[in-house]
Amino acid sequence: MSERASIVIDQPVAQSTAVARLIDGEPVWVEITPEEQKAYTFKADGVYHLKITGVYEPWTQPKKAEWIKPGGPTEDLLTRLEFEIVTGAGKGKRFASRIAVSLGARSNLIHVWKATVGAIGNAELTNMLDKELMLFVAKNEVVNSTTGETNVYANPTWSTAKPVGSSTDDDGWDND
C-alpha cells in the first residue's frame, strides 16, 4: 500500500491491519506484519511520554446490548492508536490500544486529540501522527479461557492525556 492515508472521523472502513504512518512527512498506509504486532510490548503501569506513530484503519463493531440507547447507534466505530515510548523505561518500545472514533465532548479520543492536535478543526485522525503527549497507561493481563495463555495489553486512562510539559499540578493530572 503506498497511497496517501486519510481517515476522516465519519468515514468507516473494514477492519484490517493497515496503519497510517508518516513517511517523508506524509501519512501513508502500510501493512502491519504479524511479527511487528508480536513485538508490541507493555511492561508496567505509569505515566509515559509517548509519540503517536500509527493510526489503524477504523472498523465497526456491534455495541453491547446494555450500551445501546433507544434510537441510538447499534455499532461503534473503532481504531487503534500505535504509540512509541519516547523517554524513560521502555524507550523505543511500541504498543497499540483500541479507542472509539468519536470527538464528542465526553469521548476518550477527544482527550488525546486536545493533548496532541489542540483545537478541533480538520478532524483527520492522521493529524495526530508523530505528535507527543503524556498519558497514564496500566498493564492489563487477560487469561485466554481457551488456551490458558496470558495476554498483556496496554490500558490507557484516556482522560489523563496531556500535552508534553503542560502540567503544573503536583501529580500532573488535572482531569478537566
In order along its 176 residues, the chain shows pLDDT tens digits of 445 544 444 444 444 578 999 999 999 999 888 788 778 888 889 999 999 999 998 888 898 888 888 988 888 889 999 999 999 888 999 999 999 998 788 889 999 999 999 877 777 899 999 999 999 999 988 888 888 888 888 899 999 999 998 754 444 444 44
Cell numbers found for residue 42: 507493555
Cα–Cα dist 168/78, whole Å: 32
Q: For the whole model, what pTM was predicted?
A: 0.80
Count Cβ atoms within 10 A of the Cβ of residue 134 and give its class: 0-12 exposed, 13-18 middle, 19 or more buried: buried
Query: Cα separation of 103 and 109, whole Å?
Result: 6
